[in-house]
Amino acid sequence: MAYTQDQLTALEIALARGEHRVTFADKTMEYRSVEDLKAAIREVKRGLKITNSPRQIRVTSNKGF
Examine the pLDDT at 48 and tell me if it is beyond 70.
yes
* Vertex 25: Cα angle to 19 and 29 (nearest 5): 40
Residue 1's pLDDT is: 64
Check residues 65 and 27 and name the one with the higher pLDDT. Answer: 27
How many percent of the chain have pLDDT more than 90? 51
- pLDDT: which is higher, 65 or 35: 35
For 3-16, what is each residue's pLDDT tens digit? 889 999 999 999 99
pLDDT of the residue at 58: 82
CA distance 33 to 35: 5
